[in-house]
């Protein structure tokens, strides 16, 4: 590519001057202004933008919290309470940050659900999807370490239980745990490093989100029909169409967020975390934050510690290879009559796991969690690969602009079986 000034289309001389030397305005115009976007999004396509906003809220509230927070075992708990009492609007910062983490996971879970239902992980968006799974993992690590910072009973015991999982690995396990702790128990060094990393990770997430969006703008967005736009009649420019539509979703998101922060700020938390950490008193039920419960249930479903740890990590790792496990060429489940009920059951399984994870490890929850864990993996490892071969997809519409079928559209290459008759 030749060097030299960029040819800018902007009329304003200042913007034009900058844009010619650093075409950020052209980039924004291209990626968020005129960017051709499928015209048929439903409101589930709001959640990416919501996650982005949520990340920014976490960073802003977090930075102000960090100005008043003290990362020392003898002061952390009181410093958080001091933020709530003596810092101007400190209670708002703290409750927005704590509930913001919950909102973040609600948003991202729905975002992932959207991807699963509409097959957004399939070619050509495999890498985009995998980057998303990386973001999810980083979020979990960030939230886990954040929850340790207020140094309440659940902070301490949650950290102890979760870091101890690594001791399940043979030979190196114990050393890894000592290394994570910076000592021989969860203590001040642990709190300090967790604070440092908790401050760092969101910015790493921000970088990975950038890659996520960059990859998205190469492949373009998927859509509820799961078929590619065939021309300009199938798309609208991102602005003003989707800026307007995202704004509606954003306000609804803020209403839900506000109800939590202003009226039920501690509903999703655990009362025990308002008891200062005490290494000598183990709480009767140690439970992680609600958004980890499905994975916690999988961990506990396995009688063997190492097996549980592997299965828990496996439950997320499997998402990385999902694009190759799902063999159906049809993206959207709207046209997959068999896959749909199996997926619905998978969603129920996930919610039941979430429920079981919050229960004490006793019957009937253990058995229920085991059945659900089995189905969780069965769905990805057996059902999806087989469905691609056995299922007869419904006829796909010819294009997004003409979704009404006249005699059925072309079958995607590679789909087995005959298209079903129109009901």
Partner 1 sequence: MSGFPTLRALALGLGLIAAGPAFAAGEEVELPNTRFSFEGLFGHFDRASAQRGFQVYKEVCASCHSMHLMSYRNLRQIGLSEAEVAAIAATVQVTDGPNDDGQMIERPGRASDRFKSPFANEQAARAANNNAYPPDLSVITKAREGGADYIHALLLGYGDPPAGVQVAEGLHYNKYFAGHQIAMPQPLSEGQVEYHDGTKATLEQMATDVTQFLTWAAEPEMEERKALGVKMIIFLTILGGLAYAVKRKVWHDVH
Could you list the residues that contact partner 1 (CB under 8 A)?
39, 78, 81-82, 84-85, 91-92, 95, 102, 106, 109-110, 113, 117, 236, 240-241, 244-245, 247-248, 250-252, 254-255, 258-259, 261-263, 265-272, 274-275, 284-285, 287, 290-291, 293, 333-334, 340, 343-344, 347-348, 351, 354-355, 357-360
From 79, 155, 221, 332, the catalytic residue: 221
DSSP state at residue 181: H
289 is catalytic: yes
The entry of ligand HEM, partner 1, none that residue 147 binds, CB within 5 to 8 Å by partner kind: ligand HEM
What string of DSSP letters covers 87-126? STTHHHHHHHHHHHHHHHHHHHHHHHHHHHHTTTTSTT-H
CB under 8 Å to 357, separation ≥6 — which residues? 287, 288, 292, 293, 294, 295, 296, 297, 300, 369
CB of 401 to ligand HEM, least distance (A): 39
Task: Report the SS3 class of residue 276.
Answer: strand
Task: Report the SS3 class of residue 39.
Answer: coil
User: From the CB of residue 22, how many other CB atoms can be counted at a distance below 10 Å?
Assistant: 11
Give 207 or 341: the residue with its C-beta nearer to partner 1: 341
Which contiguous run of DSSP H or E holds residue 312?
helix 305-325
395 is a site residue for ligand HEM (CB under 6 A)? no
Q: At residue 212, what are phi and psi to the nearest 5 degrees? A: -55, -50
In the list 50, 51, 58, 415, the residue contacting ligand HEM (rule: CB under 6 A) is 58
Q: Identify whether 62 is preceded by a cis peptide bond (ω within 30 of 0).
A: no
In the list 44, 53, 59, 204, the residue contacting ligand HEM (rule: CB under 6 A) is 59
Residue bearing tokens 């009767």: 284
From 6, 31, 126, 217, the catalytic residue: 217
Q: Which conformational region is residue 77 in: left (phi greater than 0), alpha (psi within -120 to 50 degrees), or beta? A: alpha
CB of 313 to partner 1, least distance (A): 22
CB under 8 Å to 220, separation ≥6 — which residues? 36, 37, 38, 228, 229
90 is a site residue for ligand HEM (CB under 6 A)? no
Give 143 or 287: the residue with its C-beta nearer to partner 1: 287
Binding residues for ligand HEM, how many (CB under 6 A)?
26
What string of DSSP letters covers 230-252? -SGGGEEEHHHHHHHHHHHHHHH
Of the candidates 165, 159, 123, which has an alpha carbon nearest to the alpha carbon of residue 144? 159
Give 199 or 269: the residue with its C-beta nearer to partner 1: 269
101 is a site residue for ligand HEM (CB under 6 A)? yes
Which contiguous run of DSSP H or E holds residue 37?
strand 36-38
CB of 85 to ligand HEM, least distance (A): 13
- Interaction mask 60-89, ligand HEM, x per CB under 6 A: --xx-xx--x----------x---------
- Site residues for ligand HEM, 185-214, by CB under 6 A, read 198-199, 202, 205
Choose the binding region for ligand HEM from 121-129, 138-146, 180-188, 235-243 (rule: CB under 6 A).
Answer: 138-146
- Site residues for ligand HEM, 319-378, by CB under 6 A, read none
**Burial 389-406, CB ≥16 within 10 A → b, else e:** eebbbbbbbbbbbeeeee
Choose the binding region for ligand HEM from 53-61, 117-125, 244-252, 397-405 (rule: CB under 6 A).
Answer: 53-61
Residue bearing tokens 């810092």: 87
Give 34 or 266: the residue with its C-beta nearer to ligand HEM: 266
198 is catalytic: no
Give 98 or 236: the residue with its C-beta nearer to ligand HEM: 98
From 246, 272, 326, 391, the catalytic residue: 246
CB of 267 to partner 1, least distance (A): 6
Q: What share of the chain is helix, strand, coil (3-state, %, to 5)?
A: 65, 0, 35
The entry of partner 1, ligand HEM, none that residue 106 binds, CB within 5 to 8 Å by partner kind: partner 1
Of the candidates 399, 289, 321, 372, which has an alpha carbon nearest to the alpha carbon of residue 126? 321
CB of 84 to ligand HEM, least distance (A): 9
Task: Report the SS3 class of residue 213.
Answer: helix
DSSP state at residue 152: B
363 is catalytic: no
CB of 188 to partner 1, least distance (A): 18
CB of 153 to partner 1, least distance (A): 9
Catalytic residue ranges: 217, 221, 245-246, 289
């Amino acid at each position: 590519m030749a060097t030299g000034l960029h040819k800018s289309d902007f009329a304003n001389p200042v913007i034009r001057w900058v844009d010619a030397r650093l075409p950020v305005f052209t980039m924004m115009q291209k990626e968020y202004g005129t960017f051709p976007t499928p015209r048929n999004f439903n409101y589930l396509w709001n959640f990416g933008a919501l996650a982005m906003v949520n990340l920014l809220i976490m960073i802003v509230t977090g930075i102000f919290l960090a100005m008043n927070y003290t990362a020392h075992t003898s002061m952390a708990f009181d410093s958080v309470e001091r933020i709530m009492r003596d810092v101007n609007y400190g209670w708002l910062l703290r409750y927005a940050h704590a509930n913001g983490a919950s909102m973040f996971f609600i948003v991202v879970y729905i975002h992932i659900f959207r991807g699963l239902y509409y097959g957004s992980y399939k070619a050509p968006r495999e890498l985009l999807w995998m980057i998303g799974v990386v973001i999810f993992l980083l979020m979990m690590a960030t939230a886990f370490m954040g929850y340790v910072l207020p140094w309440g009973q659940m902070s301490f015991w949650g950290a102890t239980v979760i870091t101890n999982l690594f001791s399940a690995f043979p030979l190196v396990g114990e050393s890894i745990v000592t290394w994570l702790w910076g000592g021989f128990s969860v203590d001040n060094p642990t709190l300090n490093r967790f604070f440092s990393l908790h401050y760092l990770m969101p910015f790493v997430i921000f970088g990975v989100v950038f890659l996520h969006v960059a990859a998205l703008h190469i492949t373009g967005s998927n859509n509820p029909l799961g078929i590619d736009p065939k021309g300009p009649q199938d798309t609208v420019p991102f602005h003003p169409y989707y800026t307007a539509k995202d704004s509606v979703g954003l306000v609804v998101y803020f209403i839900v967020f506000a109800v939590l922060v202003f009226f039920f700020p501690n509903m999703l938390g655990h009362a025990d975390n308002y008891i200062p950490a005490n290494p000598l008193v183990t709480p009767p039920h140690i439970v992680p934050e609600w958004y980890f419960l499905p994975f916690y249930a999988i961990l506990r479903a396995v009688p063997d510690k190492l097996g549980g740890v592997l299965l828990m990590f496996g439950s997320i790792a499997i998402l990385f290879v999902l694009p190759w496990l799902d063999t159906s060429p049809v993206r959207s489940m709207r046209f997959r009559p068999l896959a749909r009920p199996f997926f619905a059951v998978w969603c129920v399984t996930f919610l039941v796991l979430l429920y079981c994870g919050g229960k004490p490890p006793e019957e009937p929850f253990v058995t229920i969690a085991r059945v659900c864990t089995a189905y969780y993996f069965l769905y990805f490892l057996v059902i999806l690969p087989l469905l691609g071969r056995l299922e007869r997809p419904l006829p796909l519409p010819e294009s997004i602009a003409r979704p009404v079928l006249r005699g059925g559209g072309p079958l995607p290459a590679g789909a087995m079986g005959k298209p079903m008759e129109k009901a």
